Structure 1
């Protein structure tokens, strides 16, 4: 695995890989508060919207309070931060030398709590940051654009620029409807 090897981060990515759950969470983030509102905003049948909301609640990214559904985006940020800390700790282990230490230094400079504070201008440093992000995608798995955007939002608010940089630098490739990881470091 990569930066997202933290079990919580992987569990959350799996949770949001289902289109119905991703749409339901998006509707909550955009202000829907009832199952009916989620169904109306997503075009899903009410039964499917409720099932997606209940699954999001079990996964910890939504909560039902006083008859309303509320998103918990902080659960995603916390999982990404834990995964980034875990990754940084592995990179900084005493056995890590040379390039591993330089990579950790770059990541410490450009990431805070697992989120990119600025994409480096210098290409070598930008490649380290993009490689770190690319590890959130499993090699061999095809992702829809909304799935890619959901993962990238955990790293940076400008997910479109980040997605474009990953494609331009050869970490992700795409066809008309899907993205897949085609480059970067693979942890074994």
Structure 2
């Protein structure tokens, strides 16, 4: 199955992107792809081979592959309720600047990372938040600080307590 990463890798090369656009717009033969994309026939042929290998183009004449399963995968990984593009799955990608949206994102993280009215030591809090921050733009220390600032975690006596979220 084609993955989002494979699609990005395949289309990151300008020649392949032009060839793919030509196929999407209806060019099916090598000559048509070359003419529609402005590529040399040899370059268009190489691009089509790579696009077929990536699972983006299929058949003779060439046509776009069915990417609906890929679209469904991407849609499933993106949360509803305005959390995208900040959260994908159980990963925090970034934080919005607007305080209301930031709070909503932090509430989502707190609800999924912690159990309300449960105490955690700092090491536990850090480990839980590191899994959320891995690969994102924001580090776990910053998220911990924001969670305390927004009252989603209370700190005292070396312990943190997750607070119930408002309904």
The alignment's TM-score, normalised by the length of structure 1, stands at 0.43
Structure whose alpha-carbon radius of gyration is higher:
2
